[in-house]
Amino acid sequence: MSADDDVVLEMTGIRKVFPGVVALDGVDLWLRAGEVHALMGENGAGKSTLIKVLTGVYDIDGGDVRLAGQPVRFGGPLAAQQAGISTVYQEVNLCANLSVAENILLGREPRRLGKIRWGAMRRRARELLAGLDLDLDVTAPLSTYSLAIQQMVAIARAVDIDAKVLILDEPTSSLDASEVQRLFEVMRRLKNQGVAIVFVSHFLDQVYQVADRMTVLRNGTLVGEFRTAELPPMRLVAAMIGKELATLEDLEKQPTGRVQKAEPLLEAEDLGRQGGIEPFTLSIHAGEIVGLAGLLGSGRTELARLLFGADRADAGRLKVDGKNAVFRTPRAAMSRGIAFSSENRRTEGVVGDLSVRDNVILALQASRGWMRPVSRRRADELADQYIKALQIRPADPDRLVKDLSGGNQQKVLLARWLITQPRLFIVDEPTRGIDVGAKAEIQRLIAELADGGMAVLFVSAELEEVLRLSHKIEILRERRLVEELENTDAVDATRIMQTIAGEQAS
Amino acid sequence: MTFHKHHLFWPFAVFVLLLVLNIFFSNNFFSITVHDGHLYGSLIDIARRAAPLILVGVGMTLVIATGGIDLSVGSVMAVSGALSCLLIGDLGDPDGVAGVLGAIAVALLLCLGLGVWNGFLVSVIGIQPIVATLILMVAGRGLAQLITGGQILNVTSAPYRVIGAGYFLALPVSVLIAVAVAIVAGLLTRRTALGLLLQSVGGSPAASRLAGIQARGLTWLVYVIAAVCAGIAGLIYSSNVASADSNAAGNLIELDAILAVVIGGTALTGGRFSLSGTVLGAVLIETLNVTILSVGIPVEATLLFKAVVVVVLCLGQSPAFRERVLRRRTPVVATKEVAA
């Protein structure tokens, strides 16, 4: 079944470089006919880049792609499609106002003398759907069906293009449990017809239900290819977030000085938001680094955003210095001394069209209002001071931020908040996708800030980082805060991974 | 060395080109003469004609910086002219300075109210700017006609006439007003943090929100500024023709204003803006209009000629286009690999 002569598509040594970032380096992906292959990795691991290479959206800077043994290079998405590689994206991109049959055969309608043969079209659509064990009214508009059915229609469309490889990118994220099962049936059916399926999902249980094999990526490099049966969830998590279990060193732990457990700076009591994060209880003290650990989609960012008022809580209470606080806007949280650096630094962090100087004073200026400008001299001083302190390169306050590398953009963002002298700094994935040197600098900076009395909520997908920096670790799984651990010597990555993987009977 | 990379290089080059063109076709183009202590000449004419467009353009620049647009400016011009003429006509003494100033103040106050309306629709209700201001674009002319009773109101008021046709220190008052407003707007945006915050909101709304910028008030403010600027432009227009014509006042000026903003290097997507660029753009557009007349292009071809100049200018300004033209000069060997 899965001997190597079944290999439909081989990608070897794939390398893809973006300005300032190596997105993929030496990545292999082998897809076999009649197998479901899960592509696993945290945010920024390179999954979506790899898929875009596979579907011809990106050209590669190195490596080989072979389709049925022949070397290929796709000039664009159309070329990939014609070669038999079909993709169904997370958001269904079909035309809801057209009929099911039209959607399935759009652009490939059976014609005679330029006229569409409607009868033949409906027949063909019904055949394709029957192949997926679906019986729909193909003349009804697509919008009359549920999202799950629409997804199946998208798959039917993809399969009609004589698909050898079918890529399903987060297909289950908007489906309920029974719909997911239905999708899996369709996937198994296609698998038995000899299609190679790539399945991308951050729901581990689903991956274990349906995938035969998986390829794990981390930071743009290949961790390895595994048979699902031979890789327990625990080891998969280890592969995704950190080092191999055997080589996990006893990490040197920074948080030595114990935190003065006086009154907490911030307390959340059953704070929650529907569809974001289930109610959680959490407290943070001055000088304390609280780490948030959990997989992508576990609710890390959602939790952080509630504490900053970036999203509004619809349950529970929040207290700052023991007094009730309601944050309807980020500004409200800022006025209580809270800062938040978003994980999406390009879209929600820096403003690319503004200079480094303008970006670093932005939060300070926002809190002062437009009528009380930060003077040019003060802005220059602050920019120079933080360019020096955080070693922002190039050291030019007039440079537009969009021209900086990811790591330097992150430093600009951190500088923007440090200037406001926050009492609690929420940092979401500050080290993602940046080079090793900048990473170490940012980690050191965070430790120093906490030593200076600042409270830090540190969100990271990298367990090592969380372990090294945090005094206290909050572990999230499936949008719930499931465990709180004091970061003592007894706590190691294995212990946290057990909780993340849901293997612990707690 | 990097002069040609300055963001105003292209509009400036076209401006100079048009001026040079004029020398060949009209005698004494650059001559400025003094009559009765007033300056006269083609250049002064261009400046006078550009004054309303500069005013409207300044307001439009700030709106566009936030990523919005204001289509109602022409109608606001009509409203302000109509109301001031009506009030002045009702004065016992239309030549009394106090009365005229009062009428102007009331007219501008109404324009401010119209700006508040636009800003409310956009920033509080959340209607798309193009739709929100389209409402007033249509309704505003109706309001102006209601004020004038559907007639063209003529006014004879010496103090009112000063705004659009008067001179101060040998210079046209309308030009002085436009320049003063442009300078005030420049100071307002650069000396306060308004410019920075507007650029931030227009450049990245999501990032601005998380940086603690409260965009609602800022967005509201720019629509108010745009309406007041348009109101002043409306006063100049109606004063110059000594009447209120609800249909002609500011007709299609919103399009010229948007064009001036774009020529000046402000992107319609919002973000970075340039007030000096808009002023240059407005002057360029009026120079073009004058050139069309002096070169003797047939009336029926003027719009086409204008379109051609604008297209050339916009292409010249586009970095993507320039890059493509340059790349064609240095041939690149195509390295396409054959798909098997």
Q: Is A220 left (phi over 0), alpha (psi -120 to 50) or beta?
A: left
**pLDDT single digits (tens) B118-133:** 999 999 999 999 999 9
Q: Which of A49, A58, A28, A48 is nearest to A215 (CA)?
A: A28
Query: Rounded to whole angstroms, how far apart are CA atoms B133 and B115?
Result: 10
Q: Is the pLDDT reported for residue B114 higher than 90?
A: yes
Q: How confident is the model at residue A227 (pLDDT cuts 50, 70, 90)?
A: very high
Contact B197 A71 (CB under 8 A): no
Q: Is the pLDDT of residue A263 over 90?
A: no
Q: How far apart are CA B20 and CA B313, in angstroms?
A: 17
Chain segment A74-112, per-residue pLDDT in tens? 888 888 888 888 888 766 678 888 999 998 888 778 888
Q: Cβ–Cβ of B339/A354 closer than 8 Å?
A: no
Q: What is the band of B238 on the pLDDT scale with cuts at 50, 70, 90?
A: very high
Q: Who has greater pLDDT, B42 or A364?
A: A364
Is residue B334 scored above 50 in pLDDT? no
When pLDDT is cut at 50, 70 and 90, the band that residue A3 belongs to is very low
Token code pair at residue A137: 């009214």
Mean per-residue pLDDT, B66-85: 95
Write the residue in A353, A374, A416 that is nearest to B211 by C-beta: A416
**A46 touches B: beta carbon within 8 Å:** no
- pLDDT at position A248: 35
Nearest CA in chain A to B339: A72
Q: Which of A347, A358, A370 sits opposite B206 (nearest CB)?
A: A347
Contact B16, B23 (CB under 8 A): no
- Which range is most confident: A456-460, B162-166, B169-173? A456-460
Least confident range from A184-198, A418-432, A433-447: namely A433-447
Residues of A in contact with B340 (CB under 8 A): 67, 70-72
Instruction: Using the structure block, give the residue that is written with the tokens 């080891």.
Output: A235
Distance CA B139, CA B137 (A): 6
Search chain B and give the residue with CA nearest A346: B207
Tell me what the mean pLDDT of segment B204-220 comes to: 93
Q: Which of B192, B204, B338 has its CB closest to that of A371?
A: B192
pLDDT in tens, B240-290: 998 889 888 988 899 999 999 998 989 888 889 999 999 999 999 999 888
Q: What is the pLDDT of residue B331?
A: 44
- Picking from B199, B272, B339, the nearest residue to A72 by CB comes out as B339
B9-25 and B275-295 are packed helices; what angle lies between their axes, rounded to 10 degrees? 20
Q: Tell me: the pLDDT tens digits for A301-320?
A: 999 999 999 999 999 999 99
DSSP string, A425-445: EEEESTTTT--HHHHHHHHHH
CA angle at residue A168 from A165 to A173, to 5 degrees? 175
B207 at the A interface (CB within 8 A)?
A: yes
Q: Which of B203, B207, B339 sits opposite A79 (nearest CB)?
A: B339
Radius of gyration of chain A (CA): 25
With CB atoms and an 8 Å threshold, state whether B207 touches A330: no
Enumerate the residues of chain A whose CB falls inside 8 A of the CB of residue B196: 354, 358, 361-362, 365, 373
* Closest in A72, A75, A331 to B212, CB measured: A331
Encode A291-311: b = buried (16+ Cβ within 10 Å), e = exposed.
bbbbbbbbbbbbbbbbbbbbb
Chain A residue with the nearest C-alpha to that of B273: A353
Tell me if chain B has a CB within 8 Å of the CB of A368: yes
- Cβ distance B214 to A329 less than 8 Å, yes or no, reads yes
Which pLDDT score, from 0 to 100, does residue A130 have? 86
Instruction: Read off φ and ψ for residue B325, nearest 5 degrees.
Output: -65, -40
Edge-first strand listing for the sheet containing A315-320: A277-284, A266-273, A315-320, A323-324
Does A264-337+423-506 match A4-245 at the fold level?
yes
Instruction: State residue B328's pLDDT score.
Output: 58
Alpha-carbon span A65 to A12, nearest angstrom: 7
Chain A segment 215-274 residues within 8 A of B by beta carbon are none
Mutation to test the B interface, candidates A360, A362, A426, A427, most B Cβ within 10 Å: A362
Interface contact flag, A374 B218, Cβ < 8 Å: no
pLDDT above 70: percentage of residues in chain B: 94
Q: Do A354 and B208 touch (CB under 8 A)?
A: no
Task: Please determine, for the modelled complex, whether the ipTM score is greater than 0.85.
Answer: no
Give chain B positions within 8 Å (CB) of A383. none
Residues from chain B contacting residue A362 (CB–CB below 8 Å): 196, 200, 208, 211, 213
Tell which A residues from 325 to 364 touch B, by Cβ distance under 8 Å. 329-331, 334, 340, 342, 347-354, 358, 361-363
Confidence tier at A355 by pLDDT (50, 70, 90): very high
Q: Which range is least confidently modeled, A335-339, A421-425, B11-15? A: B11-15
Question: Distance between CA atoms of A416 and A126, rounded to whole angstroms?
Answer: 58
> Quick check: B203 and A334 CB within 8 A?
no
Query: Rounded to 5 degrees, what are φ and ψ at A13?
Result: 60, 35
pLDDT at A250: 37
Please name each of the domains of chain B with its CATH number.
39-316 (1.10.3470)
Report for A235-239, A395-399, B322-326: range of highest mean pLDDT:
A395-399
What is the CATH architecture of A264-337+423-506?
Answer: 3-Layer(aba) Sandwich (3.40)
Structure tokens at B135: 């409402």
Compute the nearest-CA separation of B271 from chain A (Å): 7
pLDDT at residue number A244: 44
Higher pLDDT, B310 or A382: A382
Indicate if the pLDDT at residue A329 is higher than 50.
Answer: yes
pLDDT band at A1 (very low <50, low <70, confident <90, very high): very low
Question: Which among B193, B204, B210 has CB closest to A310?
Answer: B210
* B213 interfacial to chain A (CB closer than 8 Å): yes
Whether the predicted pLDDT of A255 surpasses 60: no
**Domain assignments of chain A as residue spans, ordered by start:** 4-245, 264-337+423-506, 347-421
Cα distance from N-terminal residue to C-terminal residue, chain B: 48
Q: Are A72 and B218 within 8 A, CB to CB?
A: no
Burial of B305 (0-12, 13-18, 19+ CB in 10 A): middle
Task: Give B 172-191 residues with CB within 8 A of chain A.
Answer: 191
pLDDT per position as a tens digit, A45-73: 788 889 889 888 888 888 999 988 889 88
Q: Which residue in chain B has the smallest CA separation from A344?
A: B207
CA-nearest residue of chain A to B215? A366
**Would you tell me which residues 76-95 of chain A have a C-beta closer than 8 angstroms to some C-beta of chain B?**
79, 83
Return the residue of A nearest to B65 by Cα.
Answer: A353
**Residue ranges of E strands in A307-381:** 315-320, 323-324, 338-341
Measured between beta carbons, which residues in chain B are less than 8 angstroms from residue A71? 340
Contacts of A330 in chain B (CB under 8 A): 209-212
Contacts of B338 in chain A (CB under 8 A): 73
- A83 neighbourhood in chain B, CB within 8 Å: 339
pLDDT over threshold 90, residue A364 = yes
- Confidence label for B59 from pLDDT (cuts 50, 70 and 90): very high
A4: pLDDT strictly greater than 60: no
List B residues 305-324 in contact with A (Cβ-Cβ < 8 A).
none
Q: How far is A366 from chain B (nearest CA, A)?
A: 5
Q: Does A129 touch chain B (CB under 8 A)?
A: no
> What's the pLDDT score for residue A381?
95
Q: Which CATH fold would you assign to the domain A4-245?
A: Rossmann fold (3.40.50)
Q: Average pLDDT, whole number, for chain A? A: 85
pLDDT digits (tens, 9 = 90+) for B276-331: 999 999 999 999 888 888 888 887 888 888 888 888 877 877 777 877 776 655 44
Gap from B148 CA to chain A (nearest CA, Å)? 39
- Please give the interface size between A and B, counted as residue pairs whose CB atoms are below 8 Å apart: 96
- Res A140 pLDDT > 80: yes
What's the confidence (pLDDT) of residue A431?
83
Taking alpha carbons only, the member of A159, A160, A136, A139 closest to residue A148 is A136
Q: Sorting pLDDT into bands at 50, 70 and 90, what band is A174?
A: low
Residue A258, pLDDT score: 55
Chain B residues closer than 8 Å to A334 by CB:
212
Least CB–CB distance from A351: residue in B207, B337, B339: B207
| Position A220 pLDDT exceeds 80 | yes
